[in-house]
Chains A and B, each alone.
Chain A
């Protein structure tokens, strides 16, 4: 069955610390992979996506993610977190950009 797992429901980091949000997927073929961020009152915003090619993808706001086929993972990273990064983060997978399967999300809290 196709699924996305985000093992961490809630993560708390200090401002300036590094961040890694985990995402594992189960999919029958090479998927399209996405990370979205959701802030209160705003729609989901695409941080980055992987379709093919270089497995390390750069996104907006200083985020990056690495596709590891052997581990079925697409973890999101940021070297130095800012207070404005506090939000809900969703990993998603799909055969294309239409039918996306979302994970349950990871809520990031940033302490000053």
Chain B
């Protein structure tokens, strides 16, 4: 149980275009979802936290107009990188948490590698 999927697993896009990454909780209701960014040989950095039906809360330094997060349902959150630039190339990881389980544990997706050319 507690599986989180991400789609696509990798994507290449041209500079200036937008790309959407999906994060789905497959067997539980994700009341809260998190988006992380991981640079090579570096740790995961939390970008934003989203609660279903609410606006996302962005961490300091993360441009909310560039990284659009939507958490419209209890099983799906999307991250849209708008007007992507090569410096946005990174590994994006989502995680989901179900407050109803009482376990308060984040379950992580496998990540999406974004390359902007």
State yes or no: do A and B come from one complex.
yes
- Interface residue ranges, A against B (CB under 8 Å): 4, 9, 36, 41-46, 49, 90, 96-100, 102-105
Name B's interface SS: strand
Please list 12 pairs of residues, one from A and one from B, whose beta carbons are closer than 8 Å in the complex, sorted by A's number: A4-B43, A42-B110, A43-B93, A43-B95, A90-B44, A96-B104, A97-B97, A97-B106, A100-B106, A102-B45, A103-B43, A104-B41
Interface residues on chain B, size class: 20 to 34
B-side residues, CB < 8 A to A, are: 4, 9, 32, 34, 41-46, 49, 93, 95, 97, 104-111
Are B46 and A99 in contact, CB atoms less than 8 angstroms apart?
yes
- Is A102 touching B43 in the complex (CB atoms < 8 A)? yes
Partner of B108, one of A9, A45, A96, A105: A45
* CA distance in complex: A82, B41 (Å): 24
A100-B95 Cα distance, complex, nearest whole Å? 11
Cα A102 to Cα B108 with chains together (Å): 14
B contact residues around A41 at 8 Å (CB): 9, 110
Partner of B111, one of A43, A49, A97, A103: A43
Residues of chain A with a CB closer than 8 A to B95's CB: 43-44
| Among all A-B residue pairs, the 6 with the closest Cβ atoms | A43-B108, A44-B108, A102-B43, A97-B104, A102-B44, A104-B43
In the complex, which residues of chain A have a beta carbon less than 8 angstroms from the beta carbon of B42?
104
Of the candidates A41, A43, A90, A99, the one having the most CB atoms from chain B within 10 angstroms of its own CB is A43
- The complex places the Cα of A90 from the Cα of B104 at a distance, in Å, of 18
Contact of A43 among B49, B104, B105, B110 (CB under 8 A): B110
Contact B105 A97 (CB under 8 A): yes
